[in-house]
Structure 1
């Protein structure tokens, strides 16, 4: 082999090396979403529009309906990250599981109590059957608190029928299988257009809340810190893109979530204006404290209510944001 040929071979190896390293660094992750609705849209944008891929992450995003089921899958090792209602990881930690909340998805309550035409007020709902995704966690967790504040106790004053997430519950309401449901935005718009009554909005009763969040195992997070930082970097970039690209975000979400464009537009405007989609993907710590307080009351747990800090670790997101600031 001549010196020239050797140089060419060596140069070729050097040029190919970054690609080889990148290929070795690509990480497969299993991530869940409690439902496929507008509120969880950032997860689908991160997965389908390449934000995870740009961070060298091969993400398998799956829907696991009912937040408590998703958290069980996370604890059992079937997932690396779970997108769920925030009360579910709190409950898991209180049962001794090694879980932690690392970022926000939906930083507030967007649901409305929607009911058949004969129901006009909360008091009218005594004896009604509500559709729900679960008997305890997720939206049902908040629904029970809203109804309690309005003087309705479960199971004394109403029934809960497990059906599924907002799309399935809306279909049951439209079919007359249930009397009422907590519908997330923008399905409440669709229900109104069909003649159902809006009894009230959750946010008017519970103004500060952390509805949905990303969780993982603490032990896995500690061993895979660089990977988790890349995940949070992708989520921060996704949230920023959503806030900065209204028309593209609305168009994608309308198609991916099978929504009317006007409903997707109104939804985008609400989520961004209220910052229920946090621009950095951060957690609403004060809202999580409210979730903790309600959890403590509903489960009749002993002792003082813990600080929300017990359940979260924002260091992965903080490191991701520092990385983005340097670019």
Structure 2
């Protein structure tokens, strides 16, 4: 009887410890990402997946597209995803609301706006004054594309709410289709949509908001403080993989990057993917390291303030943790 009870106790202990090990491993190994949209703008993310950089770090990463910054942040706050790839401004909005569990930016992916100004008609040499009195198909109020767009227009002496007809009531996912169907004379588009419209004769890229608005922590991987506290090792491994991908993209040709990310853009021709990657590389859109920089952060605050979306300037240290990025860079240099 004693032997039988002892065996039962051992069996229970094995089951218990196995369960703990499974929980511990699962909590760090599985990470669910929600990206705000599917775009060549996020090429290093897809490279990290396709080249197995996450797997090298022992991570099982699941990617889903949660269209729109508001939907992505809702998914993060509700626990539907673990990590969000979205504009850094969303973390500021959460902080401004006095969240007990703030959202922390830990790895920057892009460092400029990724949209281009697309004109319906080709009118020769472009001048920003041509937008005066035009119908402009804008983005969601409070989102980075719209704020960076307004910031650029103001820099060129254009009041977006007085000098042109600004349309902002169209869902992010439907903006390109709305323009293609005849709405607006100008629109902001990400790649590869901008290049696709050029090929199809539906529009012409006349300017880059990325070049015009300067460096910004435009798209960043972020997570809740509580998740970061519980899964520091997983967040570090995640950041390591992103940095490997950033270095890979920076050291390979646009053709090689386009070929690698092609599985994520099955309906897009290779030449369009290549030209899109090339365009982003040429204007320095992809961040070379995951670290966020103070000067770019202050530029972000200026952009948000200009758009009337900032209650008060938020110190970078309040919603940014660069420790993971710095560790990833340091480990790679050894």
Give unpaired runs (5+ residues) of structure 2. 1-20
How much has 1:186 moved relative to structure 2?
A: 4.2
1:322 aligns with 2:330: yes
How much has 1:307 moved relative to structure 2?
A: 3.7
User: 1:17-53 deviations in whole A, cap 9, x for unaligned?
Assistant: xxxx899635222211111010112222323442222
3-state SS in 2 of match to 1:62: strand
In structure 2, what is the Cα distance between the partners aligned to 1:307 and 1:92? 14
3-state SS in 1 of match to 2:32: strand
Higher RCO (C-alpha under 8 Å, 6+ residues apart): 2
Map 1:17-32 to 2 at 5 A: 25-26=25-26, 27-32=29-34
Which residue of structure 2 lines up, in the alignment, with residue 250 of structure 1?
Answer: 258
In structure 1, what is the Cα distance between the partners aligned to 2:171 and 2:47? 23
Which residue of structure 2 lines up, in the alignment, with residue 11 of structure 1?
Answer: none
In structure 2, what is the Cα distance between the partners aligned to 1:214 and 1:40? 11
User: 8 Å contact 1:29–1:57 — kept in the other structure?
Assistant: yes
3-state SS in 1 of match to 2:302: helix
In structure 2, what is the Cα distance between the partners aligned to 1:110 and 1:291? 14
In structure 2, what is the Cα distance between the partners aligned to 1:249 and 1:199? 25
Q: Which runs of 4+ in 1 moved over 6 A?
A: 21-24
User: 8 Å contact 2:195–2:276 — kept in the other structure?
Assistant: no
In structure 2, what is the Cα distance between the partners aligned to 1:294 and 1:148? 10
Which residue of structure 1 lines up, in the alignment, with residue 97 of structure 2?
Answer: 95
1:33 aligns with 2:35: yes
Give unpaired runs (5+ residues) of structure 1. 1-20
Which residue of structure 2 lines up, in the alignment, with residue 55 of structure 1?
Answer: 57
3-state SS in 2 of match to 1:176: coil
How much has 1:61 moved relative to structure 2?
A: 0.9
User: 8 Å contact 1:129–1:161 — kept in the other structure?
Assistant: no
How much has 1:218 moved relative to structure 2?
A: 1.7
User: For residues 267 and 286 of structure 1, do their structure 2 counterparts lie closer, same or farther at Cα, with a shift above 3 Å needed?
Assistant: farther
User: 8 Å contact 2:291–2:326 — kept in the other structure?
Assistant: no
Which residue of structure 2 lines up, in the alignment, with residue 224 of structure 1?
Answer: 231
Q: Which TM-score applies when normalising by structure 2?
A: 0.79
User: 1:220-253 deviations in whole A, cap 9, x for unaligned?
Assistant: 2122111100110111112222223334322123
Q: Which TM-score applies when normalising by structure 1?
A: 0.81
User: 8 Å contact 1:46–1:52 — kept in the other structure?
Assistant: yes
In structure 2, what is the Cα distance between the partners aligned to 1:129 and 1:47? 40
